[in-house]
């Protein structure tokens, strides 16, 4: 059987990446990798759905046992991508979506050169700022911080295979799915099929 594919999705906070990932998974039935973290659950967050919530001790133990494909420490919290789920899904021939920040994405690419990297962006910075402001829940200071962080992340956009502008969520969802589907048809992914058909012709034509 053919292996599944890793689909890495990054994007600016405020570009709608979270919503897009959620809808792509719901609408098209891809597997979704759930990150592990040591930060406390926020209200409404469900263990095993939003994150796998871990103690620092458990997390560090998993690091020691090579349990993460990649992990990082951000402020005082740990975040990581569990290895087992990812590899089981790929082995079972299922495509897995990972929503992950840029450095984690570069880390994944280094280990899985066949991973498909998709970056979701707004068309420009003003739209990003508007979307962050319209959430209404965040202070100007936090918005500035997110914009500064996005500025750093933007430096990695050229490392991605695909860049999708999120002007409209539903269109963006379908475009991400189109990218995933198109990858299966790439010549490089079908060398074996091509060879089989060519041999079949040699035998039967």
Residues in the site for its own copies, rule: CB under 8 A? 118, 121, 123-126, 129, 147-148, 150-151, 154-155, 157-158, 160-165, 174-175, 177-179, 181-183, 185-187, 190-191, 193-194, 196-198, 200-205
* Cα gap 156→119, rounded to integer Å: 9
Q: Which is nearer to its own copies, 13 or 37 (CB)?
A: 13
Q: Which is nearer to its own copies, 106 or 147 (CB)?
A: 147
Least distance from its own copies to the Cβ atom of residue 72, Å:
22
Q: Which is nearer to its own copies, 84 or 186 (CB)?
A: 186
Q: Which is nearer to its own copies, 170 or 191 (CB)?
A: 191
Nearest one of 118, 97, 100 to 32, comparing CA atoms = 97
Long-range contacts of 177-182 (CB under 8 A, 24+ apart): 177/24, 177/27, 177/28, 179/116, 179/118, 180/5, 180/7, 180/28, 180/30, 180/95, 180/116
Least distance from its own copies to the Cβ atom of residue 7, Å:
12
Least distance from its own copies to the Cβ atom of residue 29, Å:
15
Q: What are phi and psi of 112, to 5 degrees?
A: -125, 85
Least distance from its own copies to the Cβ atom of residue 3, Å:
18
Least distance from its own copies to the Cβ atom of residue 13, Å:
13
Q: Which is nearer to its own copies, 34 or 157 (CB)?
A: 157
Could you tell me which residues come within 8 angstroms of residue 53 by beta carbon, excluding any fewer than 6 positions away? 36, 37, 38, 39, 40, 41, 47
* Cα gap 27→173, rounded to integer Å: 9
Q: Which residues does residue 97 pair with via DSSP β-bridges, in sequence order?
A: 7, 32
Q: Which is nearer to its own copies, 111 or 182 (CB)?
A: 182
Least distance from its own copies to the Cβ atom of residue 102, Å:
13
Distance of CA 179 to the CA centre of its chain: 13
């Amino acid at each position: 059987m053919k292996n599944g594919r890793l689909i890495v999705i990054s994007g600016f906070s405020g570009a709608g990446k979270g919503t897009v990932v959620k809808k792509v998974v719901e609408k098209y039935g891809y597997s979704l990798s759930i990150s592990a973290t040591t930060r406390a659950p926020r209200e409404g967050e469900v263990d095993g759905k939003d994150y796998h919530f871990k103690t620092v001790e458990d997390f560090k133990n998993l690091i020691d046992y090579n349990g993460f494909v990649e992990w990082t420490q951000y402020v005082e919290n740990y975040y990581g991508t569990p290895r087992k789920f990812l590899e089981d899904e790929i082995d079972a021939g299922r495509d897995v979506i990972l929503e992950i920040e840029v450095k984690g994405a570069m880390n994944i690419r280094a280990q899985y050169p066949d991973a498909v990297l998709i970056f979701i962006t707004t068309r420009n910075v003003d739209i990003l700022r508007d979307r962050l402001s319209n959430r209404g829940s965040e202070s100007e200071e936090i918005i500035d911080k997110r914009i500064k962080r996005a500025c750093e992340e933007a430096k990695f956009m050229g490392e991605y295979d695909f860049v999708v502008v999120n002007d409209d969520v539903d269109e963006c969802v379908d475009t991400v799915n189109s990218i995933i589907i198109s990858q299966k048809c790439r010549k490089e992914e079908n060398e074996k099929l091509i060879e089989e058909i060519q041999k079949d012709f040699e035998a039967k034509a």
